[in-house]
Amino acid sequence: MATRTVKMSTSFVGVFFILIISVLGYVTVGAAKPITLTFANQNPDTSWSGMNAIGPWAKQVEKATNGRVKIQIYYSQTLTKGKDTWGATKAGIADIGWCFHGYWPGMTPTADVISLPALPFKTAEKGSEVLWKLYDKYPSIQKEFADNKVLLLFTSNPYILITSKKPVQKLEDIKGMKIRMSGGPPTDMLKALGGTPMLIPMPENYISMQKGVIDGMGAPWEAIHGFRLYEVAKYYTATPFPAVYFSIAMNKNKWKKLPKDIQDAIMSVSGLKGSKFWGRNFFDTARDGVMKKVESVGKTIEVYELPEEERQRWLEKAGKPIWEKWVKTMQSKGLSNAQEILDTTVALSKE
């Protein structure tokens, strides 16, 4: 009996040991630290984009990966300056970067097609859908973004013209005015209209208007809200200005080190779906936010819609001529299907 008891005890200890090992293994797996990805962003956390696009998307990524990925967002240029973000992401200073391509004229010239003035799309959600589909379709566009892993692409709504000292209600009003615009087609359009384009990083435009360095700028409602531009710009003119575009890009080496299932989870809330989400929540919803903010601080702004006849004058002067110039320029650089890409952009914008 004594021998049998010893054997039973030994067996019990063995089983108990296995159970302990299993539990410890489970705890170890369950307690594994999540992968933290740094995200460089030039905008404040209190901006419309921070509250409605950037923060919510980071939560979508965390949910899609079941908490295995955490996005650590560095707001207000605390990790890298806005104009340095693409290069900083490529260098690994940031794992993910919010990249405004208007800072780098000539870097993504084929993608600039989405920034041509007076394209048919009216919302940022639609423009973002068009841009992602162009990226997905044309290798020439993919090549321009090849330094980083593109998670999604999105556009603004077509810009409106905001000015500090006087309203712009006709073509002649803009002549000689110093207007902040982004590089590429938006700059070409402003030159054709007779204005003087100024390339100034977005966070510096408030003080630039306040001090008279610039007379105004092309801006979306999101930037007006986030940078409190309604405090220094009273006049708002809806013009056939272009939209601008952005990427959410990731360091390629960091991306390659992620497990395949995590890559797939991140892309499930990125790509076309994420592009439309960012366009809608970053820009389209911001107009109402601006109006509420203006009212709450006791400010007034004057919004002016160009009459159709005046709008046509702007289009004839600096609309389709810029399209034609873009096609010829791109063809001269070897992009033989430039006209096809433009035609596709227009067709997708009308869908």
First-last CA distance in the chain: 86
Residue type (1 letter), 251: N
Two tokens at 181?
């615009």
At 246 the pLDDT is 97
Strands 35-40 and 69-74: parallel
Structure tokens at 320: 């389709």
Q: How many CB atoms lie within 10 A of CB 320?
A: 13
How many angstroms separate the CA atoms of 212 and 232, rounded? Answer: 10
The reported pLDDT for the residue numbered 31 is: 54
Structural contact between residues 197 and 181, judged by C-beta atoms closer than 8 angstroms: yes
Tokens of 43: 């905008």
Check pLDDT > 80 for residue 10.
Answer: no
Reported confidence tier of residue 4, pLDDT bands at 50, 70, 90: very low
Domains of the chain with CATH codes: 33-157+244-284 (3.40.190.170), 160-241+296-318 (3.40.190.10)
Mean pLDDT of 108-130: 94
Q: How far is CA 40 from CA 151, 213, 270, 287, in A?
A: 14, 28, 17, 25
Q: Is 32 in a helix, a strand, or coil?
A: coil
- The predicted-structure confidence for 41-60, as pLDDT tens digits, reads as follows 998 898 889 999 999 999 99
Per-residue model confidence as pLDDT tens digits over 182-221: 878 888 899 999 999 999 988 899 999 999 999 999 999 8
Q: What is the pLDDT of residue 226?
A: 82
**Chain centroid offset of residue 340 CA:** 25
| DSSP assigned state of 203 | G
* Whole-number percent of the chain with pLDDT over 70: 91
